[in-house]
Amino acid sequence: MHITMVPGYNGSPPDQWQSRWEAELPNVTRFAPSSWDEPELEDWMAALDRAAGERHGDTVLVAHSLGCLAAAEWLLRNPGGARGVFLVSPPDPAAASFPAPAGTFRNPRLQELPVPALLVASESDPYCALPAAEAMAGAWRVPVICAGELAHINEKSGVGYWEQGRDLLTAFLAGLGERAPLG
């Protein structure tokens, strides 16, 4: 099973869970937009085309933060582009905390995703209140798992490797009929 990592705004530093998982899992590609800190939706779509599109549907997207909005849009444009998507801490585009440089992401299409998905949210995310995450999940028609009070589930949250998330990914992959990646 191939995994395409889709970090969010500013990318994922080495101590963030996506980077840690990427370092240990086989068959992982990180998508690479032109800019992590001046994100443009069309550039991020092209980067996903390069990273995931070349897999012809044989990948699972693992997205965090702004990467969730990018992954959802890419899947709506490419319905057979992935086997599934694991979404962690999407930001609320209507929130005051939404990053100003990410303006092209501000109006995401909120319609049913064409692949199996799981959204993991935090009760204390400063970028997306739990009800807003639940509303996005409802529009995308995907289940939500509340991970507790883990802020934005990133390196600043203190989750480190985020074993709970790795277990959720393993279960999600099993639900797709895939053997969990070993690391």
pLDDT (0 to 100) of residue 1: 83
Compute the distance between CA of residue 71 and CA of residue 64 in angstroms, rounded to an integer: 9
Q: What is the CATH superfamily name and number for domain 3-175?
A: Alpha/Beta hydrolase fold, catalytic domain (3.40.50.1820)
pLDDT (0 to 100) of residue 177: 87
pLDDT (0 to 100) of residue 178: 66
Structure tokens at 25: 């899992």
pLDDT along the chain (183 residues), means of 10: 96 96 94 97 98 94 98 97 98 97 96 98 98 98 98 95 97 84 52
pTM of the model: 0.96
pLDDT (0 to 100) of residue 117: 98
pLDDT (0 to 100) of residue 181: 57
